[in-house]
Structure 1
Amino acid sequence: MGAVKVLGACPLDCPDACSWVVTVEDGVATGLRGNKEHPVTRGALCVKVNRYLEQVGAPNRLRYPLRRTGPKGSGRFERISWDEALDEIATRLTGIIDEYGAEAIWPFHGTGSLGYLQGLEGYPGRRMFNVLGASHHAATICSVAGSAGLSYTLGTSGGMDPEDFAKSKLILLWGTNPLTSGHHLWKFVQDSGAYLVAIDPVRTKTAERCDEHLAPLPGTDAALALGLLHVVVSLGAEDTEFIAEHTEGWPEFRERIMEFTPERVAAITGLECEQIVALGERIAGTRPTAIRASQGMQRHAGGGMALRVLGCLPGVTGDWAIPGGGLHYSTSGHFELDLPALVRDDLLPHPVRTLSMTRLGEALLDVDDPPVQALFVIGANPVGSNPDQRRVIEGLSREDLFTVVLEHFATDTVDYADIVLPATMQPEHLDVIAGYGHLYLVWNEPAVEPPGECLSTTETFRRLSRRLGLTEPALYESDEELARQLLKGHDLDRLRADGFLKVQPGPVPAGKLQFVSPRAQFAGHDPLPTYTPPADPGDGLVLISAASHYFLNTTFGANPELRRRAGETRITLHPDDAAARGIADGAPVSVVNARGSFEAIAEVSDRVRPGVAGTTKGRWAKDSGGATVNATIAERDADFGGGAVFHDNRVEVVPR
């Protein structure tokens, strides 16, 4: 039998949602490459996903159900059968429901997969948890603050088609490093021939390739945007026709803009006044101008407001009306999928509470109405990914907490599980992916059989529903039936045959652009876009924990080759800050604040601006001396939507 090519899709938490092709020989996946036919993937995968088949076939992959035998956190387990695992889960859940009610159960979904059937976008198992009446999970850890901010301004969080960057004349890469996180956008940026400006406190791989780099203090992006608008308006370069026809609240917003003089903004951002004026003049005279802003820049106290202001900028210049102009944050708002039909919240017997993903430690330790007694961790590694690592570990260590983890590897979180269930990986199950960095639905066809006794997440919950004696027919629908319900209105057969299908974006703005937002005012926010300063009261350096070139969140933390390439945990300090602390390049240091600490090796470089320290996320705590950067991060909400504040974080760096 010859080699077979099977179309699939990368499920990982990246805007590119690549279409890929798996080569299968005699039932074994022997090759993986990007799909050359996909207009964004164009045959290329990233340095991480190029090694994905190593993950699939790794000798340390979990292949059988496990039961804890040692203390929580010890990582000691014994192999059990699926029948034993399901019986124990069903018995424990039934007892918890009888004593505390079903809201004591929390299905905690993470971004390990963004699939609509097997991953976060469709909350697999939610139908079962709805029938039980379990608590709802709010996935607040990633992009919610920025999405909420943009929706106040634009009526949608969807922005411009990223492929239109090829038509831009000026591109602002604002708080984003696409050469590490979503490198396929770079092809369209290069095709444009545009003048490129990186706005980032760190001189990243992307910033090094740009024509200009501005390094504001973290969390001051809204002030910078207002200062740039001040220059545009002072030059009389606002698009009066677009403003009159497509916006509301301009007179009030204009007054707000004029409060943010370049001199004031320079003092807030730490930039030179001349830099602000020069970029403002360039924006004023260049059409079309496009902005790419990604999730990192909205992970602070004023993150939602920052995206709200950025959404206004193309409204003042009229770029929203020009191909190649506007802003791209996430295209998720453009996918018209029938998510209600998939998750079936109508199956709930009564309204239930919602628990926030970013407040896991708080919920496990402080909530008692009812207390969380059962935690299902699905596609997540909260010990490695959540704020306030110490409190998360303390909560997971509760002996009375029954924790079930669906996983591929023995992560930090698996070590605290009572039952571990082995999950399939992407080449082994059916799924539908929608990129948040392009406008394509991508189909994932199963290519090979799963190893050992691994089950898809959908099948796991079908079996658990049966073991619980639940009779709702919707709990037993096949993956194909689920896909058809989700994709109602789309050509599923064409999608399956071609591997991808482009959707038509909705209008941006959706209705008139709101310079003054009644919705924001109703929610208790300033009705006008403004600048909200960082909120960490600590002293010291602002710590940026950006994406690693070799890890994707914590997904590849067990890959030996990627760990070797990433090297030791490093923290980058500006020479002035290092000298003030007596720290030399290559010295071992501790990074500390009131919440916790982690260990690193100092890298002294002007890649970071003074007052800022830079490191990367994605490592496992048990491979990093028991703590990672998240040990220092507050379990505190951003301004909008309950988003996380990973970059609103002050630390001190001391020699070890």
Structure 2
Amino acid sequence: AERLTLAAQRHGPETVWPHFYSGTMGLVQRDGIQRLAHAMRYSCQHSTICVSLVDAGWNAAVGQKRGVDGREIAKSDLIVVWGGNQASTQVNLMAHIAEARRERGAKLVVVDPYRTATAEIADLHLAPLPGTDGALACAVMHALFKEGYADRAYLARYTDDPDGLESHLENRTPAWAAGITGLPEEAILHFARLYGQTKRSFIRLGYGFSRSRNGATQVFAVACLPAVTGAWQYEGGGALYSQHGLAPLDRTLIEGRDVLDPTTRILDQSRIGPILLGDKRDLGDGPPVTALFIQNTNPMVVSPAAGLVFLEHDDIYTAGAHTFLQIGRAILTPYAECRSNHEVQSALAKRLGASHPGFEMTALEIIEHTLKASGLPPPDRFEEGVWHDCWPGFETSHFLDGFAHKDRKFHFRADWAALGPQHANLPAFPDHVAAIDDGDPARPFRLVPAPSRSFLNTSFNNTSSSLAREGRPTAMIHPQALATLGIADGDRVRVRNAQGSVVMHARSFEGMQPRVIITEGLWPNHAFEEGIGINLLTSADPGLPGGGAVFHDTSVWLRPA
């Protein structure tokens, strides 16, 4: 408290930046730090490191973060996992996929730059080059229109400009997409026909393919597929990115929105490196950041451009991909002197002189107040005292009573200007946007730092069991590339670009295109020979149109170490 007070006295309150994210996902313990920031007039945060790009793409099309109940996958005849690895990151979904395959003979298609654990069990795996999913989606839609799979009655009733879309896609052929994605034209056409012929087709959109400079436009293009075929009409059909929009929570007390000064500057979470170095594009006319209050994140490992950065409780949880609002009650006494985030924030607020009712309440009292203000039942009326199902019913979850835009239509024409300031060069209709770091002769490889099965970002990356399962930092490299460079499986390799270089061990892996290099897991920096990890190589450039981390949009070269 003394250090924060001193910094604010020297430079003004905006010199303090509460930098936080989702090490804990409960709203009270995670987001209560915003109440402290608002009460003290500290710099606010634009939280872009995870979902801002996929949010923009989905909302441009659908209008709200909700979709078909994932439990309906059991009634699907085709499941498309696009840009996700559910076998590692959403195991509950795999049970529904397994049921659909067992009971209905459903097919599983995975679209991902490399052969993940989910792709291993798929009936079809398409591995486009990173940053080219939009081209693939456009070519699929071209084929759907050309070969008669478009549901024109549905399009006329539920979408904004189907004729304009069809005209726009006229030259977005499978051959055109093959030249961009690196996929065979025949594979693209096969997938398009499989999708078009299957009414009960369910697309589960992941996060991975949004993490490029053009990520929002890629998500937008993929989200358009079920609108073209009318798959939304059928049980087990449609799409899902997130159900986060289902819980109608009033977060005023949790976040202290009632004391927010709208003139307070907002700093982009993913640009922490440039911000700490005083980049005026981020700081504007405000003071430098001289005090960080970091909660539930590990920016020295997880942040882009890491070379610039290297210097038991009650709660309420909203859903990522299911429909339940959940209460998590404390069942253990905190160990030794451990305190919850809420307790730390409240104690710090008292020392700083911050005034807000939320600092005088327990976490459970905040939960009870929030539920009442939101028109929801109290915790003791949640089913089994734990959850409340926010499922809005079949008609609404399938948008048969209208999509979430003002005109109640699905939008093939995106209003990018409403979603962020960097929209000038984004096309209205779905397209491939060549705003990616596509490499050059000096940096011919495309790097994807993917999640690992045993780590959750930096959670668990220091536990002995997780480390034993993962082994060591490795670069998964196609055998063709290894042979060309004279590298053997297990050799030490150096991966480099203008931002720096990282030494790892090579692992021969055929499950992607030869231009792609995969690393799995956010290893602690000390696991690398030179003391800094893979995000040294990723860029802090903001994704279009409103910012977002572009972890999967990185070109590098590769040499023997």
TM-score (norm 2): 0.92
2:514 is the counterpart of 1:610: yes
Counterparts of 2:537 and 2:262, CA distance in 1: 38
Query: Could you tell me which residue of structure 2 aligns to residue 113 of structure 1?
Result: 24
Structure 2 vs 1, CA of residues 452 and 522 (structure 1 numbering), >3 Å: closer, same or farther? closer
CA drift at 1:108: 0.5
2:482 is the counterpart of 1:574: no
CA drift at 1:160: 1.6
**Among 542, 551, 559, which residue is 1:646 paired with?**
551
Counterparts of 2:180 and 2:525, CA distance in 1: 35
Checking the alignment, whether the CA contact within 8 Å between 1:132 and 1:348 is kept in structure 2 is no
**Among 536, 543, 555, which residue is 2:437 paired with?**
536
2:494 is the counterpart of 1:600: no
Counterparts of 2:9 and 2:278, CA distance in 1: 22
2:561 is the counterpart of 1:620: no
SS of equivalent residue, structure 1 residue 158? coil
Counterparts of 1:348 and 1:209, CA distance in 2: 49
CA drift at 1:349: 4.5
Structure 2 vs 1, CA of residues 300 and 518 (structure 1 numbering), >3 Å: closer, same or farther? closer
Query: Could you tell me which residue of structure 2 aligns to residue 61 of structure 1?
Result: none
**For residue 275 of structure 1, what is the amino acid of its counterpart?**
A
Checking the alignment, whether the CA contact within 8 Å between 2:253 and 2:358 is kept in structure 1 is no
**Among 466, 471, 481, which residue is 2:365 paired with?**
481
Checking the alignment, whether the CA contact within 8 Å between 2:109 and 2:122 is kept in structure 1 is yes
Deviations 1:248-292 (A, max 9, x none): 011111112222011111111111111111111111111111111
Checking the alignment, whether the CA contact within 8 Å between 2:302 and 2:457 is kept in structure 1 is yes
Structure 2 vs 1, CA of residues 145 and 350 (structure 1 numbering), >3 Å: closer, same or farther? closer
Query: Could you tell me which residue of structure 2 aligns to residue 389 of structure 1?
Result: 306
SS of equivalent residue, structure 1 residue 128? helix
Within 5 Å, give how 1:122-137 maps onto structure 2. 123-137=31-45
Structure 2 vs 1, CA of residues 177 and 443 (structure 1 numbering), >3 Å: closer, same or farther? same
SS of equivalent residue, structure 1 residue 634? coil
Counterparts of 2:9 and 2:276, CA distance in 1: 20
Within 5 Å, give how 1:494-509 maps onto structure 2. 494-495=381-382, 497-505=384-392, 507=397, 508=399, 509=403
Counterparts of 2:98 and 2:435, CA distance in 1: 34
2:86 is the counterpart of 1:178: yes
**Among 498, 513, 535, which residue is 2:410 paired with?**
513
Checking the alignment, whether the CA contact within 8 Å between 2:274 and 2:308 is kept in structure 1 is yes
**For residue 536 of structure 1, what is the amino acid of its counterpart?**
D
Checking the alignment, whether the CA contact within 8 Å between 1:521 and 1:527 is kept in structure 2 is no
CA drift at 1:481: 1.8
**Among 366, 372, 394, which residue is 2:278 paired with?**
366
Query: Could you tell me which residue of structure 1 aligns to residue 336 of structure 2?
Result: 452
TM-score (norm 1): 0.79
Query: Could you tell me which residue of structure 2 aligns to residue 405 of structure 1?
Result: none
Deviates more, 1:381-390 or 1:633-642: 633-642
**Count of aligned pairs:** 531
Within 5 Å, give how 1:48-447 maps onto structure 2. 89=1, 91-119=2-30, 123-193=31-101, 194-349=106-261, 351-367=263-279, 369-393=286-310, 397=311, 428-447=312-331
Deviations 1:587-621 (A, max 9, x none): 11111111112121111121222110111122110
Deviations 1:494-520 (A, max 9, x none): 227432221124553322101113454
CA drift at 1:473: 3.1
Deviates more, 1:522-531 or 1:472-481: 522-531
Structure 2 vs 1, CA of residues 109 and 150 (structure 1 numbering), >3 Å: closer, same or farther? same
Counterparts of 2:351 and 2:551, CA distance in 1: 40
Counterparts of 1:295 and 1:558, CA distance in 2: 25
Counterparts of 2:554 and 2:435, CA distance in 1: 9
SS of equivalent residue, structure 1 residue 529? coil
Counterparts of 1:490 and 1:561, CA distance in 2: 41
Structure 2 vs 1, CA of residues 289 and 145 (structure 1 numbering), >3 Å: closer, same or farther? same
Deviations 1:19-60 (A, max 9, x none): xxxxxxxxxxxxxxxxxxxxxxxxxxxxxxxxxxxxxxxxxx
**For residue 267 of structure 1, what is the amino acid of its counterpart?**
G
Checking the alignment, whether the CA contact within 8 Å between 2:131 and 2:436 is kept in structure 1 is no
Deviations 1:312-333 (A, max 9, x none): 1111100112221111111112
Counterparts of 1:238 and 1:329, CA distance in 2: 22
Deviations 1:553-575 (A, max 9, x none): 00111101111111011111111
Deviations 1:180-216 (A, max 9, x none): 1111100111111211111112111111101111111
Checking the alignment, whether the CA contact within 8 Å between 2:49 and 2:269 is kept in structure 1 is yes
Gaps of 5+ in 2: none
Counterparts of 1:272 and 1:635, CA distance in 2: 33
CA drift at 1:522: 8.2
SS of equivalent residue, structure 2 residue 128? coil
Query: Could you tell me which residue of structure 2 aligns to residue 17 of structure 1?
Result: none
Within 5 Å, give how 1:625-640 maps onto structure 2. 625=529, 626-640=531-545
Query: Could you tell me which residue of structure 2 aligns to residue 35 of structure 1?
Result: none
SS of equivalent residue, structure 1 residue 238? coil
Checking the alignment, whether the CA contact within 8 Å between 2:419 and 2:546 is kept in structure 1 is no
**Among 365, 371, 376, which residue is 1:490 paired with?**
376
Query: Could you tell me which residue of structure 2 aligns to residue 14 of structure 1?
Result: none
**For residue 509 of structure 2, what is the amino acid of its counterpart?**
S
Q: CA RMSD in A?
A: 1.6
Gaps of 5+ in 1: 1-88, 398-427
Counterparts of 2:358 and 2:326, CA distance in 1: 25
Counterparts of 1:112 and 1:495, CA distance in 2: 25
Deviates more, 1:553-562 or 1:368-377: 368-377
Deviations 1:347-373 (A, max 9, x none): 135520111110000111124521011
Structure 2 vs 1, CA of residues 234 and 305 (structure 1 numbering), >3 Å: closer, same or farther? same
Checking the alignment, whether the CA contact within 8 Å between 2:69 and 2:391 is kept in structure 1 is no
Checking the alignment, whether the CA contact within 8 Å between 1:148 and 1:157 is kept in structure 2 is no
Counterparts of 2:496 and 2:410, CA distance in 1: 43
Checking the alignment, whether the CA contact within 8 Å between 1:520 and 1:527 is kept in structure 2 is no
CA drift at 1:383: 0.6
Counterparts of 1:138 and 1:208, CA distance in 2: 36
Checking the alignment, whether the CA contact within 8 Å between 1:149 and 1:640 is kept in structure 2 is no
Query: Could you tell me which residue of structure 1 aligns to residue 347 of structure 2?
Result: 463
Checking the alignment, whether the CA contact within 8 Å between 2:231 and 2:238 is kept in structure 1 is yes
Structure 2 vs 1, CA of residues 172 and 522 (structure 1 numbering), >3 Å: closer, same or farther? closer
Checking the alignment, whether the CA contact within 8 Å between 2:449 and 2:521 is kept in structure 1 is yes
Counterparts of 1:364 and 1:615, CA distance in 2: 27
Structure 2 vs 1, CA of residues 138 and 522 (structure 1 numbering), >3 Å: closer, same or farther? closer
SS of equivalent residue, structure 1 residue 482? helix
Aligned-pair identity (%):
33
Counterparts of 1:571 and 1:208, CA distance in 2: 19
